[in-house]
Copies of this chain bind each other. A is one copy, B any other.
């Protein structure tokens, strides 16, 4: 069986640290034996004690320090323990790291990644379960990526750092313990391959990648759930649903998605964010502009409710996007015309 996502991430960090003597990892409780709240940094501080630093509780300050390292030509990866707390680093991300790439009139490379364990379904409650991706969409100079079981984290992180643009990497906390997919095979029915430059978008399909009733676009955190839904749609409803998982959420690589979307004419975008100003709305806008006249229905967005995320599992479920919500949306879009 393939490795778990968190193991893949951990190995990626090991490889990056080994390859780049200028790379630093910063965050709360990163060092061994603790190895980070989600254990993504296990074994790193033992190998590179000088470059793996457990910091005080200072989210804004840590991202600032990382910005300083980047400015000095080094590379830095910061772990924010829960992505909810990246709010404390909003200024450093918006007004320092991102701005510095361009506001001095010439390109300044900033090799800086902020890792953000994200999302709910673990009963951690309203301030430890959010999906803040949407708040960072459209910051000039900043890129957003999301960990997925289809995208090797070493490749993703290496590309983010090499781009010279600061980036946020969102990491679904439930996904950590899931398995990576390998060798183009999802299960006995579904296969996958990649679209676009750098194999940026994973495409999961059944039978024929060029044929489907509907395309479901999701960020990495929902990839496993989307595949599960696609399987059910096939087996229960005889609907062929292709799933697309872009590794980079922003800037959007719409071009890579368009051929699939145009062929299907029916698009659902699902994400865990609560309602309003979602990544999906931005994607939909791009698609509507490009495929007006081709789409058979407006792009349908699926997301969590416009609500705080409760702690108790039975309440959390009523707010967070569920497989059944995605399932229903695809069925409605497919049967709608």
Could you tell me which A residues sit within 8 Å of B by CB distance? 60, 84-85, 87-88, 90-91, 94-95, 99, 102-103, 105, 125-127, 130, 132, 134-141, 250-251, 273-282, 284-285, 288-289, 292, 297-299, 301, 306-308, 310
Contact = CB atoms under 8 A, between A and B. Distances in A.
Contacts of A105: 310
Contact of A90 (B88, B126, B274, B285): B88
Contact of A284 (B84, B136, B288): B288
Contact of A277 (B95, B130, B138, B274): B138
17 contacts: A60-B88, A84-B94, A87-B95, A94-B132, A99-B127, A102-B308, A103-B126, A135-B136, A140-B306, A140-B308, A250-B276, A251-B276, A251-B306, A276-B282, A277-B282, A281-B281, A281-B282
A138 B276 contact: yes
Question: What are the 6 A-B residue pairs with the smallest beta carbon separation, nearest first?
Answer: A138-B276, A137-B277, A138-B277, A90-B90, A87-B91, A103-B126
Nearest to A297: B292
A280 B139 CA distance: 15
Given A276-B282, A277-B282, 5 more contacts: A88-B90, A90-B90, A102-B308, A103-B308, A138-B273
A138 B275 contact: yes
Nearest to A300: B289
